[in-house]
């Protein structure tokens, strides 16, 4: 990482805003998900990797219970709050970031206070953020912002939190304070990923395994294609998909769809039909159950050292997101169709859907031609030019 976006710049930013030296600088990355979409809130499997793009925070503690937040990436000045007074309502929560960007870090401080880790009277802080994670692109800029906040406070206050615990508190902040019903994947990815690996995570008990993911050794590249669109229906659709999954699990008498065995899937779908569930619900279930299976398949192939062969599994995952879970959109479908037609090994949407980003697995030698084909297809369709860059599996949250 150059110092353009490094400790020097964010320290200078802190100095300018607060007039003092920060107590330290922390980083937390954005992520792409290799496979396992909408499985985390079904207690299933996911496999994200951290991007080199990070949210940096320069921070100092305050002993007077005042929280001061500033972002070099958001308009407006310093947001000043009292830790003691933070509450989901006072924070302007409910429905994404309508309460303003500061709801994300403020929510983290609230979650730490709620967990009895910070006292409202004394546990304050000053934070200044600068991020290279594109926002709203499905690459988890929000989780990076949360996790860098929690990691900084963990160190400044000696809280002794492990990365998974940090992830859980950040998820609570996003769910209960910001008002976004997200699963645990994004925060776990930002907190726990390691360089050169994908993170195999069981979202039920948070057991994890770092799976070596050496693209260069395999002569491959994983491209991220940021479509730069975010369709409005995304937020409501996320909540309704989640509700449909939970209703189906209840009807089937299992704790979560993760407990529906892949082998018995046809019988389960027939059972749901008998119970009066519509075809849409049955397709949602089929996506979740087959997607968990695809995560296991990708891991088996990576463990066998056959990285190339995960390509068709990724593309099958896209078809399932598009047809069964119905969370894709024209732009994402166009990336996948164009990339695979132009010689990519596999491609799929990544993240919540309805815009955001897709990933493309491609032989190094074909990367340029595939990128060009996607860019041209977007121009021909009248879409804004996509942003394309390689995903290099990078480190999780850390002090710099
Ligand atoms: P994603 O997490 O996919 O990027 P979200 O909609 O979940 O998209 O989160 C994006 C929001 O997170 C932004 O609208 C903004 O409120 C907040 N955010 C992320 N990074 C920053 C930052 N560096 N400074 C201020 N706000 C940020
Ligand atoms: Mg987010």
ipTM: 0.99
Is residue 361, in this structure, part of any structural domain at all? Answer: no
Token pair in block for residue 380: 């021909």
| Cα–ligand 1 centroid distance for 70 (angstroms) | 13
Residue 180 CA to ligand 2 center (angstroms) comes to 8
In whole angstroms, give the CA distance from residue 187 to residue 167.
Answer: 5
Q: Is residue 273 part of a domain?
A: no
Domain membership flag for residue 182: yes
Do residues 283 and 324 lie in contact, with contact meaning Cβ atoms separated by under 8 Å? yes
Name the residue of 33, 101, 106, 239 whose CB sits within 8 Å of the most ligand 1 atoms, as the mutation to test its pocket: 101
Is residue 156 situated within a structural domain?
yes
Residue at token pair 């463990």: 303
φ, ψ for residue 279, nearest 5 deg: -65, -35
Compute the 3-state secondary structure of the chain and give helix, strand, coil in percent, each to the nearest 5.
Answer: 45, 20, 30
Distance of CA 365 to the CA centre of its chain: 29
**Residue nearest (by alpha carbon) to ligand 1 atom 11:** 142
Distance CA(245)–CA(183), nearest Å, equals 13
- The CATH number for 102's domain is 3.30.230.10
Q: Based on the structure, what is the number of domains in the chain? A: 1
132, 145, 183, 238: residue to mutate for ligand 1 pocket, most atoms within 8 A of CB? 145
Give the angle 105-106-108 at the CA atoms, nearest 5°: 65
CB of 320 sitting under 6 A from ligand 1: no
Domain that holds residue 109: 7-211+395-399
Does 134 map to a domain? yes
Q: 315: Cβ below 6 Å to ligand 1? A: no
Residue 296 belongs to a domain: no
Following CA atoms 187, 189, 195, 197 in sequence, which dihedral angle do they give, to the nearest 10 degrees?
170
Residue 133 within any structural domain of the chain = yes
Alpha carbon of 382 to ligand 1 centroid (Å):
27
pLDDT string in tens for the chain (400-residue length): 456 678 999 999 999 999 999 999 999 999 999 999 999 999 999 999 999 999 999 999 999 999 999 999 999 999 999 999 999 964 444 444 446 999 999 999 999 999 999 988 888 999 999 999 999 999 999 999 999 999 999 999 999 999 999 999 999 999 999 999 999 999 999 999 999 999 999 999 999 999 999 999 999 999 999 999 998 877 789 999 999 999 999 999 999 999 999 999 999 999 999 999 999 999 999 999 999 999 999 999 999 999 999 999 999 999 999 999 999 999 999 999 999 999 999 999 999 999 999 999 999 999 999 999 999 999 999 999 999 999 999 999 999 9
């Amino acid at each position: 990482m150059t110092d353009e976006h490094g400790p020097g710049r964010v320290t200078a930013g802190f100095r300018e805003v607060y007039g003092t030296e920060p107590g330290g600088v922390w980083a937390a990355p954005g992520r792409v998900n290799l496979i396992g979409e909408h499985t985390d809130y079904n207690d299933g499997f996911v496999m994200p990797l951290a991007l080199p793009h990070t949210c940096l925070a320069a921070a100092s503690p305050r002993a007077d219970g005042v929280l001061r937040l500033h972002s070099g990436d958001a308009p407006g000045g310093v947001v000043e709050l009292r830790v003691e007074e933070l509450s989901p309502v006072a924070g302007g929560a409910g429905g994404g970031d309508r309460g303003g960007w500061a709801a994300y870090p403020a929510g983290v401080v609230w979650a730490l206070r709620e967990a009895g880790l910070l006292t409202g009277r004394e546990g304050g802080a000053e934070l200044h953020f600068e991020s290279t994670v594109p926002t709203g692109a499905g690459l988890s800029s929000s989780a990076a912002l949360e996790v860098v906040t929690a990691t900084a406070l963990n160190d400044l206050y000696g809280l002794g939190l492990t990365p998974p615990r940090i992830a859980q508190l950040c998820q609570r902040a996003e769910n209960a304070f910001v008002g976004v019903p997200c699963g645990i994947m994004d925060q776990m990815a930002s907190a726990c990923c390691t360089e050169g690996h994908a993170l195999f995570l069981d979202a039920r008990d948070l057991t994890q395994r770092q799976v070596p993911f050496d693209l260069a050794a395999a002569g491959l590249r994983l491209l991220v294609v940021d479509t730069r669109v975010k369709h409005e229906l995304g937020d409501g659709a996320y909540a309704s998909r989640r509700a449909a999954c939970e209703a189906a699990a209840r009807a089937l008498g299992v704790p979560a769809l993760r407990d529906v065995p892949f082998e018995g899937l046809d019988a389960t779908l027939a059972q749901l039909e008998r119970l009066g569930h519509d075809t849409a619900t049955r397709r949602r279930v089929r996506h979740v159950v087959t997607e968990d299976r695809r995560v296991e398949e990708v891991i088996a192939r990576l463990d066998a050292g056959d990285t190339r062969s995960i390509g068709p599994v990724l593309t099958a995952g896209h078809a399932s997101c598009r047809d069964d879970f119905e969370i894709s959109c024209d732009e994402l479908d166009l990336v996948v169709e164009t990339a695979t037609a132009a010689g990519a090994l596999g491609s799929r949407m990544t993240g919540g859907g309805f815009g955001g980003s897709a990933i493309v697995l491609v032989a190094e030698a074909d990367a340029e031609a595939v990128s060009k084909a996607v860019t041209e297809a977007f121009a021909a369709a009248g879409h804004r030019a996509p942003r394309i860059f390689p995903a290099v599996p990078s480190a999780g949250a850390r002090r710099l």
